[in-house]
Structure 1
Amino acid sequence: MAYRLNEKIRDLKPYDPISGDFSVRLDANESFLPVPQKILQKIAEAVILASYNRYPDPLAKELCQSLGEYYHVSPDLVTAGNGSDELISIICSAFLMKGDTMLTLSPDFSMYRFYASIAEAKSKQYFKKPDMTIDIDQLIAAANASQAKMILFSNPCNPTSLGLKREEVRRLITSVDALVVLDEAYMDFWEESMLDEVENYDNLMILRTCSKAFGMAGIRLGFAVANRTLTNALKAVKSPYNVNTLTQRTGSVILKEGQWLRSCIEEIKSSRDMLSEKMSVLENNYSQRMHVYPSVTNFLFVKIAQAEEVYRELLKSGVAVRYLGDFLRITTGTKEENEKFMQAFEKAIRL
């Protein structure tokens, strides 16, 4: 008899990002800011001294110390990961039992439901209102009615660019029995983080990434913050050497550059605001065709008629954005990249 894949992976397809040679890449929500030469030199000095014949520090202590200092949290509550994607996968597989219910929101980051399916958990969805906002009372009711063991969502949201304020997040955490996992990947661009309150709750875990604001997408670095009980459990179930030596050394160096990191955030926010202003002018001219959502992230979320046609016209112009059905998600870029995008978008929308 021939071996057959099991049904949960039989029809899966590998992740397929946009490929091709595009002069402007605004599709992946990366930072457009390169690491300065003087910091690259510090990284080079740090990594050249590493013992590459030895396994990396399994607890990434120096890296967690740097993360804790930058974000003003105890390093003992920090768990480093090979990108926050790895941590999402671990959390779903370890904190959910087969048949448990995980509640996600829609629209939201699609990989949440994928990882739940691999963990053989049931995935229930709370659908946001037509304006993409969240009715917190309805969300609480949905969580309790489904007896969810975990609620996992991004705040601010990818892809809607909207955020849920702290007081509403607190109400959710204290009104459910589920573990609430907040993916704060874009919270560096907003001021509503729950990081400083994480020890107040026994059912809160926060995920962060260094890919969006800090220009570290290439080294795959994310981290989780939770109370000691949850942190100890997470460290126990992750693989022992999940963050490699190069990432640990590089991350530790960059995270000590607080002034530069804060300037990156402000520059990205400024670029986003300028792009948003220009897109809002277009929205006034094409109000029957497009709507730009307010953004507290490093990207814009735009509802647009004939979105696929506009998307393909942008590709023809050498501009890559993210196509999401009736929507486009546009990462903010350099001034030159934003200008090229606007020229291509104005041309495409007139067709």
Structure 2
Amino acid sequence: MAYQLNEKIRDLRPYDPITGTYPIRLDANESFLPIPNRIALKIMESAAFTAYNRYPDPLASELCKSFAEFYHVNAAHVTAGNGSDELISVICNAFLMKGDTILTVSPDFSMYRFYASIVEAKSIVYAKNPDLTIDVDKMIELARANDVKLILFSNPCNPTSLGLQKEEVRRLITSVKALVVLDEAYMDFWDQSLLDEVEQYDNLMILRTCSKAFGMAGIRLGFAVANPTLTNALKAVKSPYNVNSLTQKIGSLILSEQELIHSGIEEIVFSRSMLYSEMMRIEAKNRERMHVYPTAANFVFIQIAQAEEIFLALLKSGIAVRFMGDFLRVTAGTMEENKEFIKVFETIMQG
């Protein structure tokens, strides 16, 4: 008798990013800034002397210390992972039991509910307001009414580019019994982080990534920060040697370059502001066809008529953006990439 997949994975399909070669890639929210040559040389030297025959440091101590020094948090309360994705998966597996209820919001990062489904948790979804903002009172009410064990959402939000003020996030944390996992993947581009307050709460865990502001998407590196109790639990359930030696060394090297990182963030924010301003200019001419949302991230989010046709036309011109139903998400690129995108986008709109 043939083996049968179980029902929770039977109909799943692998993640399907845009494939192909496009001169301008504005679809994945990566940093457009390459690693400087002097850092690349340090990485090459470090790689040459890495002890590949030995397991990596299971606690990634040097790496977590570099992260802690950059953000001014306690290194003992930092856990490293293979990108935030691995940490989200581990959190869902460890802090949810089969049948427990998780609360997510919509629209938001789609992988949250996916990882919860693998654990066989019940999923409650809070639908955002028509303007894509969050009503915290309704979230609190929903969490209490459904005995929610875990609340997981991004702030600023991917894909909406909107952010929830820290006062509202605090109110949510202190009004529920659930563990609140706050994904601050894009918080380096905004000023409403709760990272310096995380130890004050018994039910808060904050995620950070190195894929957006730090230009390290290729090495898959993320962090979780929480109080000692939550941190100890997370370190106990993760794989013992989850972050490889080379990623640990590269991450430590780049995180120690604080001036370089800060100047890079400024450059990305400048690019985003330019892109947003230009899209607002185009919106003013096409108010009946498009709406550009305010942005606290490194991308702009656009509701637009005939989104798929515009997406395909951009691809034909060698420009990849993210198509999301009635919306397009466009990552800030270099000045040259932004200008080319704006020129082509405006031409398509006029046509």
Report if TM-score (shorter chain) is over 0.5: yes
2:38 is the alignment partner of 1:38: yes
2:236 match: 236
1:213 match: 213
Flag structure 2 segments of 5+ consecutive residues without an equivalent. none
In the alignment, the residues of structure 2 paired with residue 202 and residue 14 of structure 1 have an alpha-carbon distance, to the nearest angstrom, of 36
2:153 partner SS: strand
Give the C-alpha shift of residue 203 in structure 1.
Answer: 0.2
Give the C-alpha shift of residue 350 in structure 1.
Answer: 2.3
**Match for 2:205: what amino acid?**
M
1:77 match: 77
Give the C-alpha shift of residue 47 in structure 1.
Answer: 2.1
Give the C-alpha shift of residue 48 in structure 1.
Answer: 1.7
1:305 match: 305
TM-score (norm 2): 0.99
2:133 is the alignment partner of 1:133: yes
Cα deviation code 1:223-253 (max 9, x no counterpart): 0000000000000000011000110000000
In the alignment, the residues of structure 1 paired with residue 18 and residue 347 of structure 2 have an alpha-carbon distance, to the nearest angstrom, of 22
Moved beyond 2 Å, runs of 4+: none
Aligned-residue RMSD, C-alpha: 0.6
1:174 partner SS: helix
In the alignment, the residues of structure 2 paired with residue 322 and residue 59 of structure 1 have an alpha-carbon distance, to the nearest angstrom, of 36
In the alignment, the residues of structure 1 paired with residue 45 and residue 167 of structure 2 have an alpha-carbon distance, to the nearest angstrom, of 44
2:155 is the alignment partner of 1:155: yes
2:178 is the alignment partner of 1:178: yes
2:201 match: 201
1:328 partner SS: strand
2:281 is the alignment partner of 1:281: yes
Cα deviation code 1:283-328 (max 9, x no counterpart): 0000000000010100000000011111111111100000000000
In the alignment, the residues of structure 2 paired with residue 314 and residue 283 of structure 1 have an alpha-carbon distance, to the nearest angstrom, of 18
Cα deviation code 1:57-104 (max 9, x no counterpart): 010000000000001000000000000000000000110000000000
In the alignment, the residues of structure 2 paired with residue 134 and residue 203 of structure 1 have an alpha-carbon distance, to the nearest angstrom, of 20
Give the C-alpha shift of residue 3 in structure 1.
Answer: 0.6
2:332 match: 332
Flag structure 1 segments of 5+ consecutive residues without an equivalent. none
Give the C-alpha shift of residue 339 in structure 1.
Answer: 1.1
Cα deviation code 1:26-57 (max 9, x no counterpart): 00000000010111112222222210000100
In the alignment, the residues of structure 1 paired with residue 218 and residue 147 of structure 2 have an alpha-carbon distance, to the nearest angstrom, of 38
Tell me the percent identity.
70
2:266 match: 266
**Match for 2:75: what amino acid?**
P
In the alignment, the residues of structure 1 paired with residue 44 and residue 58 of structure 2 have an alpha-carbon distance, to the nearest angstrom, of 22
In the alignment, the residues of structure 1 paired with residue 5 and residue 350 of structure 2 have an alpha-carbon distance, to the nearest angstrom, of 48
TM-score (norm 1): 0.99
Cα deviation code 1:192-234 (max 9, x no counterpart): 1011001100000000000000100000000000000000000
1:284 partner SS: helix
**Match for 1:283: what amino acid?**
E
